[in-house]
Structure 1
Amino acid sequence: MRASIAAAGLLLASCGPQDPREARIDNIQDQAADEAQAIRASADNVADGMRAQAETLSNQARASVGYTAEQFDTRAASLKKQAEIVERQAKAKAQAVRDRATADVSAIRAE
């Protein structure tokens, strides 16, 4: 019984207030992770929409002939390429957010 009470006391102590610097660091890291995830999720939604449009255009190209089919194929390829660019851009932005957080954390630790 006493062992379980002591264990509960240790558990509560470890959940207690954090060092203010560590709390700031955790907050910065959490915010950066959330922001980076939001950037990637938004870009994924945009890219998915572009790919869906590209698929529709590819289907129209298969149903068409001649220059019309070629135009549909060209638009579809362009949308697929744009989707890739949107994803690469989001990846770079998310990395910049994480890098900024790392720099902020380093500055706090250097205080």
Structure 2
Amino acid sequence: MSVINKLVDKLSEYIRLKGEKLKLEIIAQVAKLLAHFVAFLTIAIIGLFLLVFLSMALSAYLNMILDSPHLGYLIVAGFYLVMLLIIFFLLRSNNIQKWLEALFVNLSETIAEQNEE
């Protein structure tokens, strides 16, 4: 009877350790995914600032060329309106969502492959 109890104890300890290992692997993958997300978010914010300042510079340059205090800003705003409409229609057709899903699946597969190495 004592051999069976030892075997049951060893088996339960093994199952507990496997569960802990799985939990730690999941935490590691989530941490890597969050690190990629934070890096992407940082780049996106810096890119947004760059876009804003370049847009203001282009608007001021167009104002100077067109000799108008407002026309350059309207042209740049019109460009962004067209871009917004294109993105809106792409979102409605789910093309961007499918692309983002594929991107995240590829990213998670890459992280999993790096963990295996």
TM (norm. structure 1) is: 0.45
Larger radius of gyration: 2
The structure with higher relative contact order (CA 8 Å, sep 6+) is: 1
